Each structure stands twice: as structure tokens, then as C-alpha cells.
Amino acid sequence: MKTLKDARVGDTLVVTRVNGEGAVRRRIMDMGITKNVEIFVRKMAPLGDPMELNLRGYELSLRKADAEMIEVQ
């Protein structure tokens, strides 16, 4: 199982599953991260957290703790 947390700058990945429960999972899905969405990892902060992603035509900054709940391929 590979998660979004393991991605490197320049990777283009497809979401296979969003883990988590309740409000946390709902918040991730409300940001547009759902199954079969293509995500491009644009850049990382100097210390690695947060990461900047491009998906669904917009840019999103996501913490590594949240990225760990997103399975990708």
C-alpha cells in the first residue's frame, strides 16, 4: 500500500482509497480528494510539511498526517 505521503515532487498519482473516519475523512473528501482522482505533486515545503498538490484544476496544500490516509497508485 502506497500513500500520498510517500510521493515525490513531480509524481502524478491516482487515488485508490481514502482512509480515516468521521470528520477527518469527510474533510479530505470535501477538498476534492476522492477515488480515481489524479493528483500531481507540485512541490514540498523545505522541511517536507506541507506538500502542494494540483488536482481538479486547483492547488491544494496538504499536511503529511492527512496525506498518510490517502492510498494511491
**Does residue 5 surpass a pLDDT of 80?**
yes
Dump pLDDT digits (tens) for 32-47.
Answer: 999 999 999 999 998 8
69 CB-near residues (< 8 Å, 6+ apart):
3, 18, 19, 20, 24, 25, 28
**Does residue 58 surpass a pLDDT of 90?**
yes
Q: For the chain, what are the domain ranges?
A: 2-72
Residue 46 confidence (pLDDT): 87
* pTM given for the model: 0.86
Question: What kind of fold does domain 2-72 have according to CATH?
Answer: SH3 type barrels. (2.30.30)
Mean pLDDT of all residues belonging to the chain: 92
DSSP assignment of 8-44: -TT-EEEEEEE---HHHHHHHHHTT--TT-EEEEEEE
Average pLDDT for residues 53-65, to the nearest whole number? 93
